[in-house]
A and B are shown apart, each in its own frame.
Chain A
Amino acid sequence: LAKTTQPISMDSYEGQEVNITCSHNNIATNDYITWYQQFPSQGPRFIIQGYKTKVTNEVASLFIPADRKSSTLSLPRVSLSDTAVYYCLVGDIWTPLVFGKGTRLSVIA
């Protein structure tokens, strides 16, 4: 299972763009990269998933370089409600996802 490394925590002011980078040096060919958001006492919530290049949805963008050894989650114009823990996970859909420590994002007014 590919191991991931993320910053433990990040702070940002409201309205700023936040980029969280995740390293996954031993990603396998069949592995997808998926980001989840978790609020206290709630289950993780899917944010975005990608395999290569760039993926964008209504809440975030995911940038994946050609070697796929890292990925960057971009949250545009964060608000206080984006304060949460963000997890980067790597794997194929049928392999149980192993959670790393995640990145605790604190958005400040």
Chain B
Amino acid sequence: GAVVSQHPSWVICKSGTSVKIECRSLDFQATTMFWYRQFPKQSLMLMATSNEGSKATYEQGVEKDKFLINHASLTLSTLTVTSAHPEDSSFYICSAIKASGGALTGELFFGEGSRLTVL
């Protein structure tokens, strides 16, 4: 089956530094990827929609200058948490659409998640 891979799986950084998380679709091309954030014991919260070759669409309340999303190729989207602070510590999950049926339908695959801890 299709696989979506995230890297790194976990990262610890100092407050004020920037962290980049990669999301790759390993065996299919994904024009659209989604980024979610999940705090402990809570559900996934959609952060943004990443479209290949264009600017990401951010959900209300998500700072686009803090969470930089780049979708430069059909198999890679990156999320950069800039000037990270302890409150940004969370589990970040991406997902990618594998289209079929002439893009009329498809399936959504999720990555394994990346746990960010900001000290």
Could you count the A-B residue pairs with CB atoms below 8 Å apart for me: how many are there? 52
B35-67, CB under 8 A of A: which get 1 and which 0? 010000001111001000000000000000000
Known: A41-B113, A93-B99. 6 other contacts (CB 8 A): A34-B108, A36-B110, A43-B93, A43-B112, A99-B46, A101-B43
Residues of B within 8 A of A (CB): 4, 6, 32, 34, 36, 43-46, 49, 91, 93, 95, 97, 99, 105-113, 115
Using a Cβ–Cβ cut-off of 8 Å, how many residues does chain A contribute to the interface with B? 19
Name the B residues within 8 Å of A41 (CB-CB): 91, 113, 115
A48-84, CB under 8 A of B: which get 1 and which 0? 0100000000000000000000000000000000000
- Selected from A34, A49, A96, A99, the residue in CB contact (under 8 A) with B43 is A99
Q: Chain A interface mostly helix, strand, loop or mixed?
A: loop
Contact assessment for B97 and A94 in the assembled complex, using a CB-CB cutoff below 8 Å: yes
In the complex where A46-B107, A46-B108 touch, is A93 in contact with B97 (Cβ < 8 A)?
yes
| CA distance in complex: A100, B99 (Å) | 24
Name the A residues within 8 Å of B111 (CB-CB): 43
- Selected from B32, B45, B106, B110, the residue in CB contact (under 8 A) with A43 is B110
